[in-house]
Structure 1
Amino acid sequence: MDEPLYRPTDVLLSALDGFDSGRDSARDWSEASGGPRETPARARVTVWEPEDQKPRRKAVQPGINHFGEQLRGHKLGHRMTRELYGYPNRSPHQRLKRETTRKALWESTGWMYRDEDHTRFSDLYLLVNRDLALVNYNMSMRYFASLDSGEFEDALQAVLSAGRTFKSVESLPDWDGVAGAYIMVFDEYKQFYVGQGSDIRKRIKQHWGGKKSFDRLVYGSHYGSILPVDELRAMDTTRIYAARSQNPYAVEQRAEGAADQRFCLNRMLGGEATPLMLMLTGLNPRARAHGFASLTLSEKDQRKVKKEIQRLIERGGPHFAEQLAGLDLGIYSVARKDGEQRFWSRRDEVTVAAMRGRIGVEQYAEFLTGIGETVVWPDK
């Protein structure tokens, strides 16, 4: 089941505490075309794209037989890799319409788009959202590695028992046109996903052949977001179980309800999505602690560090992006006055500065390159 719309601005607001959006940042920076192009006068920019940062994808892999399916070559490959994780896309999952959107919200999200109608994401949003997704990817990989294989298998068997009628799938074509529920297992990551559909074969192949909408890679905070199942590729699926049913939602709900959430990639409760469930999920997305141990920082010390970063940015200079990249970018747990603990990093503060227009898009890209990230752009 696809989670309800969680606007990119909501993701960033929840992820970056204290952010107030503005329209003073550049709307666009690079067309990935190697040359300048015209933009509105109020947002005129110069295109800059280093030769070594143009979009790169691995060569399309040849067809592979997997669960009785002949997989065709895929531009993203047949296994998930960090290099191609969260490949940028300018198209929103769901467009906001000016006439039905509050003026304040419409204006506050303007920085995220390259056009007045909010139909195409800006270069800045592509950089920001992919960086949040990659931070989440890093945390997820460390978390998966920390899990116990025996406990994972026990958790999977508990789900299979709750479903009662699940059978191991050897040949996916045997499930063509069959309605029911299914469980995809990713043994390398010690995770599973429970789903349902009117055609189990078709639904699983949709998982394999698609990818998560770019603006839904992070759902909630990037420190707590559950890795999206649709970023995993076909060969990451090591086992499949399925159950025939004329009421797939009921089987899914029963199985997902028995899942130990440490091992489950479902971002929503199982079962048919009611308006109330969608509303509650949108207000409070299911999150994952990731078993992350971090150093603690008081709010007072956090404010001091933020001011130091702001002064560094204000001084500017030809190498200030390099200086920002040289900062301690470790993740800290900030103890708030109300007792709540929140993760925070200087990396977040640099992102906030870019979103507020205090750092140009080119400088922000240089910062990302300086910390070892590869900046990529969507295919033309």
Structure 2
Amino acid sequence: MRATKQPSYPSCEHFGDQLRGSMFGHKMTRELYAYPNRKPKARPKRELLGEDLWNDSSWSYRDEGHTQHSDAYLLVQRDAALVNFDLSMRYFASLDADEFEAALGHVLTKGRTFKPVQSLADWDGVAGAYVMVFDEYKQFYIGQSTDIRKRVKQHWASRKPFDRVIYPDRYETVFPVDELRDLDTTRIFAARSTNPYAVEERAEKAADQRFCLNRMPGGLASPVTLMLSSIDPRRRSNGVAGVPLSWDDYDRAWDGVADVIARERSSDGLGLVAELAGMDMTVHSVTRKDGSLFMWSRRDAIAGATARGELGVTEFAAFLEAMGETVIWPED
């Protein structure tokens, strides 16, 4: 697949620091959100996963060693990320600005020594905790570092690893702070401390989770805490209220997608993309047989068919374009 050429943006100054230009710009955009990357955050170990899990995840990679993500994975993962992006933007827009300001104020009082940052140079090499504020989205993020200036600039320069943008799924993922760009940060507060973890933990515990982008609790994380957060990450409803769907109706809806793919496979297949794109993509709240709920739409089923190899990469890319998406390919 050919890489998609992107423009380069000029450098700019923010909080007293000169920031280099980037192909991703200085403000987050949907077009460049969750930019695909073939490199996994951590290379999976076959001996730890076991043969069944290793084989089940093979569709995600284009090599036997699982060192590079496949074309199918790039499409499916970014599709999920963009669904979450749209849900998150609607959720942010629904939040009350006065409530956000009150929640931020409550966090800052828990820090006791948080001060507005005018120039990051004043915090060069300073240990402590910080709060990055994104007023446009009515969100904030709480962190800690032995060098506050360096850490804030790392947020601005980095991107969330592509295979960690969605965590745990497209409907309940807390928006990734590192996908926001430098000029999205409108205010910064910081507090000096010889024990940054304690300040971060106190502030994060005081945070109203409606307005907080932290995906895991603050403070010094133990190995057990890290393990538990990976198994059961912090979730956010993102304001999704799915149309109720029974388990039997869910089964029938799944079968309906599979039937369309199978029927077109037995014919010339020319109408497959159009028929899939024309299906009802309503988000449903599905009731499992044990009474628990999960969110689902036929778009999930179509992505699942791609993961299983029932729908080709070219077909799924065409489906996404028919749904109004722009397919982006990274440089290899």
Is residue 201 from structure 1 mapped to residue 149 from structure 2 by the alignment?
yes
Asked if structure 1 preserves the Cα contact closer than 8 Å seen for 2:244 and 2:284, the reply is: yes
Q: Give the 5 Å matches for 1:329-368.
A: 329-368=281-320
Asked if structure 2 preserves the Cα contact closer than 8 Å seen for 1:324 and 1:367, the reply is: yes
| 2:327 corresponding residue in structure 1 | 375
| 1:37 corresponding residue in structure 2 | none
What SS class does the counterpart of residue 125 from structure 1 fall into? helix
Q: Give the 5 Å matches for 1:125-204.
A: 125-204=73-152
The one-letter amino acid paired with 1:336 is R
Deviations 1:47-78 (A, max 9, x none): xxxxxxx5142x32222111001111111000
Is residue 76 from structure 1 mapped to residue 24 from structure 2 by the alignment?
yes
Rounded to whole Å, the distance in 1 between the matches of 2:318 and 2:271 is 10
| 1:299 corresponding residue in structure 2 | 247
Is residue 215 from structure 1 mapped to residue 167 from structure 2 by the alignment?
no
The one-letter amino acid paired with 1:146 is S
Rounded to whole Å, the distance in 2 between the matches of 1:352 and 1:322 is 18
Q: CA deviation at 1:106?
A: 1.4
Q: CA deviation at 1:97?
A: 2.5
What SS class does the counterpart of residue 195 from structure 1 fall into? strand
Is residue 327 from structure 1 mapped to residue 279 from structure 2 by the alignment?
yes
The one-letter amino acid paired with 2:28 is M
Q: Give the 5 Å matches for 1:270-309.
A: 270-309=218-257
| Gaps in structure 2 of 5+ consecutive residues | none
What SS class does the counterpart of residue 210 from structure 2 fall into? helix
The one-letter amino acid paired with 2:237 is A
Asked if structure 1 preserves the Cα contact closer than 8 Å seen for 2:13 and 2:19, the reply is: yes
Asked if structure 2 preserves the Cα contact closer than 8 Å seen for 1:322 and 1:366, the reply is: no
What SS class does the counterpart of residue 193 from structure 1 fall into? strand
CA-atom RMSD in angstroms: 1.1
Rounded to whole Å, the distance in 2 between the matches of 1:185 and 1:234 is 11
Asked if structure 1 preserves the Cα contact closer than 8 Å seen for 2:171 and 2:240, the reply is: no
| Gaps in structure 1 of 5+ consecutive residues | 1-29, 33-53
Asked if structure 1 preserves the Cα contact closer than 8 Å seen for 2:87 and 2:239, the reply is: no
Q: Give the 5 Å matches for 1:22-171.
A: 30=1, 32=2, 55-57=4-6, 59-171=7-119
Rounded to whole Å, the distance in 2 between the matches of 1:307 and 1:216 is 30
Q: CA deviation at 1:105?
A: 1.6
Length-normalised TM-score, structure 1: 0.85
What SS class does the counterpart of residue 262 from structure 1 fall into? coil
Q: 1:119 to 1:67 in 2, by over 3 A?
A: same
Percent of aligned pairs sharing the same letter: 57
Q: CA deviation at 1:101?
A: 3.4
- Runs of 4+ in structure 1 off by over 6 angstroms are none
Rounded to whole Å, the distance in 1 between the matches of 2:316 and 2:292 is 30
| 1:14 corresponding residue in structure 2 | none
Q: CA deviation at 1:339?
A: 2.3
Asked if structure 1 preserves the Cα contact closer than 8 Å seen for 2:38 and 2:70, the reply is: yes
Q: CA deviation at 1:365?
A: 0.8
Is residue 311 from structure 1 mapped to residue 263 from structure 2 by the alignment?
no
Count of residue pairs the alignment pairs up: 328
Length-normalised TM-score, structure 2: 0.97
